[in-house]
Amino acid sequence: MGKKNKQFVEKITAMEDDFAQWYTDVVKQADLVDYGPVRGTMIIKPEGFAIWENIRDELDRQIKATGHSNVSFPLFIPESLLQKEKDHVEGFAPEVAWVTHGGEEELSERLVVRPTSEALFCEYYSKNIHSYRDLPMLYNQWSNVVRWEKTTRPFLRSLEFLWQEGHTAHATYEDAAEETERMLGVYADVVENYLAIPVIHGRKTEKEKFAGAKYTLTIESLMHDGKALQSGTSHHFGSGFAEAFDITYLDENGDQQYVHQTSWGITTRLIGALIMVHGDNRGLVVPPRIAPTQAMIVPIAQHKEGVLDHAYDLRDRLKDIARVNIDPSDKMPGWKFNEYEMKGIPVRIEMGPKDIEKEQVVLVRRDTGEKEFVALNELEERLPILLEEIQQNLYNKALEHRNEMTTVVTDMEEFKQTLDQKAGFIKAMWCGDLACEEKIKEETTATSRCIPFEQEKVADSCVCCEKQAKELVYWAKAY
């Protein structure tokens, strides 16, 4: 390692030494967030917000393409409204923030700062759904929510975070079931094809499902350190909320029926996932499809006549091909190389007097460090292909890592050993009994991540109690 690299790497802790510290260092050094004045809050800086915007834009496109409309509901929820659905309020009560005063005056009823908006949407639906003609009602909102978490980390767990929450009402249980699955599919598409993170599709156990849901579907991904991260969830409410909030409609026969509802969400946690799946000891690695800047032009020996002009020309030429930026500052090229590697920009384009003379540029990949010389007149063709290669490579690497870190186990001894030695996903059979799920968590700290749609029978008996197994479950330590 050259002197230049060594200096650079000193800015961030090696992930092998301390993964948590590595994460914090990358988040700071890549300029994604800063801490807010209230413990556990975060300021998402331009570099971080631009990544969020790209995730948001693609997801928003797909949410609209599947027939949903965006809306904006209030930040405050009256306490009495939250109380209406018993499981829901019990699930969220420990972590809600209360508003007790308006100005100097104590409020007659406390308000909750939304931790999620089921109660508000249900209240609205109860007033605005009358007939089968009003259904389905397919709403989504992009907003912030507050959950008073005890331990916090930027993106992964913070008092306030950004997300989208879809809330839909349907005529039948089956319609709502289809919606629940459809939106999980949308999430999987965005996470796999844009964030380049492979996911396991499945259903949460009763213990892990959303408070108030009939069932929760989830996509689960594996981070570099072998811990899992829930990357998106989609909930089927059946008619539970409808009964609590009295949301009914007249069907085609004029009979009164309860609606069936869903809700689904993804959050800024996905940025945490992106960091922990693709990042390395040189910093962040952003998949090209969501990278705010896909290629950064770094002029070499830019004080020499014509170099900067050529670099600007190059940027203008490429602006319809890719999101290309240029750093014309008088900082040393070495500093710039390190800086844009830290920020995870997929491709660096180097151009100096010699390259201009030879009518070529140097392309350097962030994911592998590989360099290639490309003739100027072939660049328009080569750059998009290279970006796609990087996108694919990141996905393939993450998938390979997940496969290596997935272990089938058949007894508790093996379960514990595997978690101690390599972590990752554990595939093991389960009897379906809550007692076993709790015992596994207590003894190993691993939680059930999901009951995968793609079932396999890896053993006959439950990994914990050895009684007849019901289904295969993915287990892992999780963020």
Find the binder of Zn ion among 259, 423, 464, 473 (CB under 5 A). 464
* CA 471, 474, 475, 479 torsion-angle sign: negative
User: Would you say 363 or 428 has its CB closer to Zn ion?
Assistant: 428
Residue 198, both tokens: 């492979």
Find the binder of Zn ion among 186, 286, 431, 472 (CB under 5 A). 431
Give the residues across from 235 on adjacent strands.
Answer: 216, 263
The backbone torsions φ and ψ at residue 45, rounded to the nearest 5 degrees and listed phi first, read -80, 170
d(CA 220, CA 228): 7
Of 13-21, 81-89, 228-236, 463-471, the window that binds Zn ion (rule: CB under 5 A) is 463-471
Of 21-29, 140-148, 152-160, 454-462, the window that binds Zn ion (rule: CB under 5 A) is 454-462
User: Would you say 47 or 433 has its CB closer to Zn ion?
Assistant: 433
Give residue for tokens 């002029």: 299
Computed on alpha carbons and rounded to an integer, the radius of gyration of the chain in Å comes to 25
Give the Cα-Cα-Cα angle 304, 306, 310 (nearest 5 degrees). Answer: 125
- Size of the chain, expressed as the number of residues it contains: 479
User: Would you say 184 or 469 has its CB closer to Zn ion?
Assistant: 469
Of 258-266, 305-313, 318-326, 456-464, the window that binds Zn ion (rule: CB under 5 A) is 456-464
Give residue for tokens 């909102």: 141
- Answer yes or no: are the C-beta atoms of 176 and 237 closer than 8 Å: yes
User: Would you say 387 or 464 has its CB closer to Zn ion?
Assistant: 464
Give min distance, CB of 293 to Zn ion, in A.
51
**Pattern 374-413, Zn ion, x by CB under 5 A:** ----------------------------------------
Q: How many CB atoms lie within 10 A of CB 327?
A: 18
User: Would you say 395 or 430 has its CB closer to Zn ion?
Assistant: 430
Give min distance, CB of 211 to Zn ion, in A.
24
CB contact burial 284-299 (16+ within 10 A = b; e otherwise) = bbbbbbbbbbbbbbbb
Q: Does 473 bind Zn ion (CB under 5 A)?
A: no
Give min distance, CB of 472 to Zn ion, in A.
13
- Answer yes or no: are the C-beta atoms of 370 and 390 closer than 8 Å: no
Give min distance, CB of 434 to Zn ion, in A.
10
Q: Which long-range contacts (CB under 8 A, 24 or more apart) does 88-91 make?
A: 88/118, 88/119, 88/211, 88/212, 88/241, 90/211, 91/210, 91/211, 91/212
User: Would you say 9 or 408 has its CB closer to Zn ion?
Assistant: 408
Give min distance, CB of 463 to Zn ion, in A.
7
Give min distance, CB of 440 to Zn ion, in A.
9
Give min distance, CB of 438 to Zn ion, in A.
10
d(CA 46, CA 54): 12
User: Would you say 191 or 436 has its CB closer to Zn ion?
Assistant: 436
d(CA 216, CA 302): 56
Q: Does 462 bind Zn ion (CB under 5 A)?
A: yes
Of 64-72, 226-234, 383-391, 460-468, the window that binds Zn ion (rule: CB under 5 A) is 460-468
Q: Does 459 bind Zn ion (CB under 5 A)?
A: no
Find the binder of Zn ion among 250, 362, 465, 478 (CB under 5 A). 465
Give min distance, CB of 109 to Zn ion, in A.
45
User: Would you say 169 or 464 has its CB closer to Zn ion?
Assistant: 464
Q: Which of 430, 427, 434, 432 is nearest to 464 (CA)?
A: 430
Give min distance, CB of 467 to Zn ion, in A.
5
- Answer yes or no: are the C-beta atoms of 362 and 354 closer than 8 Å: no
Residue 96, both tokens: 């809600």
Q: Does 436 bind Zn ion (CB under 5 A)?
A: yes
User: Would you say 99 or 458 has its CB closer to Zn ion?
Assistant: 458
Of 180-188, 254-262, 417-425, 427-435, the window that binds Zn ion (rule: CB under 5 A) is 427-435
DSSP 275-309: HHHH-BTTB----GGG-S-SEEEEESSTTSTTHHH
Q: Does 259 bind Zn ion (CB under 5 A)?
A: no
Residue 269, both tokens: 């946690």
117 secondary structure, DSSP code: -
Q: Does 429 bind Zn ion (CB under 5 A)?
A: no
Give min distance, CB of 431 to Zn ion, in A.
3
Residues that bind Zn ion (CB under 5 A): 431, 433, 436, 462, 464-465
